[in-house]
A and B are shown apart, each in its own frame.
Chain A
Amino acid sequence: MRAWQIVRKDLVILLRDRRALITLLILPIVFIAILGLTTGQILTGRSTNRLRLTLVDQNRSSLAQQVIQEISKDPRIEVELEESVTAAEDRIGQGASTAAVIIGEGFSRKAAEIQLIDLLEIPDRRLAEGLGSLDVQVRSKTTLPLTRAAISQLVFLKTLQVLARYVTSRLPLVKAYIDAHPQLAFEARPNSAAPEVNPYFSDLIASRSAVYLTLVPSYTVMFAFFLINFMARSFIGERTTGTLFRLKAAPVSNMVVITGKIVPFFLVAVVQGIILFAAGRLLFGMSWGVKPWMLLPVIVSTSLAVTALGLLTGALVRSEVQVVAYGTFLVVVLAGISGCLMPRDWMPPTMQKVSLVTPHAWALLAYDQLLTTERPDLALVALSCAVLVGFAALFFAAGLICFRRLRRNSNVSF
């Protein structure tokens, strides 16, 4: 119970430190809001979450029009038509469009050459070169090669849907069948149903809040680790103000003192995590995923790792200057390695593996499962929590060893 005296004392001191509270609670929300506004386009395509394509129809055939219609009716794609390639490229340069699709003059001629066998054996026949086989080009910024490749595949798929109807309708048997059933003619039903998307994810994709599914967990984890600075300062403060002598002279064991020192910060870390996820929901409309209650064990295990790392940092630093230097370095570097500063998916596979040496990365893995997948892999979430608790145990043991070494060399250690 005597540890509770220290817990209560440190909580009072922490809650009276308005700057600390602003840094721990308000700053992350402001940070997330600003990044949500400024990077929304990068992370989710656009605030409306639709892919923006500029189409240039140099062919001007009915078949080209059908391709344009096929692309336009996809709810995930926003289409703008331009008269010239130059105008389309200008839109890309201005950031108004992600890519331009240019249907060349030779499109209808090349489409007329396509036979049924070309559709059945795409890699080996006339369509082997994809859109290039049909005089259709996709252009985007050179910095987005993967985006260009993905859009090319999407446009090729849409074009094949048109070509499939076009080619099969020319076959005598099919033609005779369609003639007998005019309601089946593709001209008569130009608007087929939109592709089916899982309702949860269609909401997610269409939602402006999708960006916060990346930002809120990333910055919740990063700012949780900011606590290590405050913890280390608290340990240093006990030394520099002389109160450590009083604590050591009191009838309590070192373990009670250390427990009393770390519990308040653990509680603050948990509350911080809950507040930031609540703010994500209330202020930014983010989803808590299909199993919201599972977020709590991740927040708790992350908080354990944070407080144990704070203990280790407190044992290693010797002054306030070192707290600022090492603590901030630790927070920023670990955030960078782990993928807090950018979506983990953007990181090269090697770096994604390297990042697993940080507790942050495991927390992000768990949050990613819970927030962005329809059926979260609960085994992976449990593993992440276990690894975070393992990190906590490791940091805690290392912190105790460092304190013991310090005590052996001086009389000012816990």
Chain B
Amino acid sequence: MRKGIFLLTLMVITFSNFSFSDNHLFSLKISGGMSRVYDGGDLKKWFNGEKAYFDWLGKQQNYSTKSNYPFKQDEPEGNFEVIFKPLNYLGVSVGLGYTRRIWSSSSEVYYNHGGNLGYDKIELSSKNELNVFPVTLSLIFSVPYKFLRANLFAGGGYYYANLKFNMESKYFWQNFPDRENYKHHYTSNLTTHSEGAGFHGGIGLEVKIISHLSFSIDAFFRNVKLGDIKGELKWNEILEWSGYKKENSGSEKNQTLWFGSFKVDGNQFERAIFSGEKPSLFENARPFNFNLNGTFIKAGIVLSF
């Protein structure tokens, strides 16, 4: 693939008779690539805090744990822009993008009761999904040279983000006293929305292929902070053991995602949780914030009119 792109570029450079000396007033740009989020702010702290907690818990008497909280930095992102260039070296673009980011995690907690009681187990899993729709406004400063054009971007954007936090806890203890095969299954789904402004800047290179068509490669950095994550929590719970089964479900509106730290036996761990009110257990509890700070490298085509 990379070889193909290289050869195509080489051919264009070698044989192209088109240049950017003729300015086109409007252009449409469709591009896609990989965007990288450096640490996500509280997102990464949350994951690290959870992992640290379960690692610690696994060292306590009778406990053993497994946990996996990967933070995926890179995800694909697409972008569509309308570019207005009144001058050959200066223009503005309005863009609409989309990126979807998924972080999945899991952990298991075992507690050995000893003797005939065996052990009980909690299985936790979560799938957190982030869908972002950036609307950007960029100022473009271009330096054309024959069929090549170097672009500098700078601008701001407004980011609409929908977040889904889907979590599940399965508890099981086969030898629960008086309650054979005791199970407790709990799921929660929090659907939230957040939006906020950011700014970005970057560089790009365009290669004109034919008169109205060029190929672009861009790389830019952006700084976007999102917070005030509010939404509705829906939960379902099934409690079951021999001869008994009870299911409950409900929903709670105006839930906020909070971030803070709690202490256990002198150890401090960071965590995020949903609550309608500020969680009293947490030290320094505050609303959860995350960011999309990072880079976006993309390639695309530009149609000029």
Partners in one complex: no
